[in-house]
Amino acid sequence: MSYEDEYEYKPSILSIIWSWIWSFIVAFIIVGGVYFFLGRPFTVSGASMYPTLHNGDRMVLSKVGDIHRFDVVVLQAPDQDKEYIKRVIGMPGDTIEIKEGKLYINGQVVEQPFINKEILVNKTVYIDDFTLEGLTGETTVPEGKYFVMGDNRGVSRDSRLIG
């Protein structure tokens, strides 16, 4: 028997178990940090973002970066324990208006290639004209707030209804 064979290190079963436990703890902390601070998976429910997103679509929700006009965002529904997915239309300080199906932001017509045009062309759903002031009493989108709408305007529960 050689010297190396006599003193070969063999970890105990307890040290192996502790090694696995610490590996799981570190992995759990990393996954939890990513989930709470960077992003998380999200599944689309409903048709309010059709044709951009469909019921059952899966996506990763990013929690980093700034919000820009026309970004798709997830927000907490104010009257339910649900989340809504919508498109940012109005930024703080913007005026918002819909006239004859056209979106006006700060008095300028804005193209909306992402909306469900079928409802506008076929008039299958009537979308009321509105102004931000008529809906909310505010002339502009307040600081720290955003005006959001679904791409499928006829069925979307968005800032026109929930503020």
User: Tens digits of per-residue pLDDT, 52-107?
Assistant: 888 999 988 888 889 999 999 988 887 778 888 899 999 999 999 988 878 899 99
Q: Is beta strand 108-110 parallel, antiparallel or unpaired with respect to 130-131?
A: unpaired
- Candidate list 2, 10, 12, 48, residue with the active-site label: 48
Say whether 86 is catalytic.
yes
SS3 state at 125: coil
Q: Is the pLDDT of residue 8 over 80?
A: no
Q: What is the mean pLDDT of residues 130-139?
A: 85
Name which of 60, 154, 145, 47 is nearest 96 in CA terms: 145
Could you tell me the CA-to-CA distances from 45 to 83, 87, 90 in Å, in that order? 9, 15, 23
pLDDT of residue 113: 83
Q: What is the pLDDT of residues 30-60, one digit of tens each?
A: 988 888 888 888 888 888 888 888 899 998 8
- Candidate list 19, 63, 86, 102, residue with the active-site label: 86
Say whether 82 is catalytic.
no
The torsion angles phi and psi of 25, rounded to 5 degrees, stand at -65, -45
- Beta sheet of 130-131, edge-to-edge order: 108-110, 102-105, 96-99, 130-131
- The mean predicted confidence, pLDDT, of the chain is 84
Q: Is the pLDDT of residue 120 over 70?
A: no
Tokens matching residue 135? 């809906």
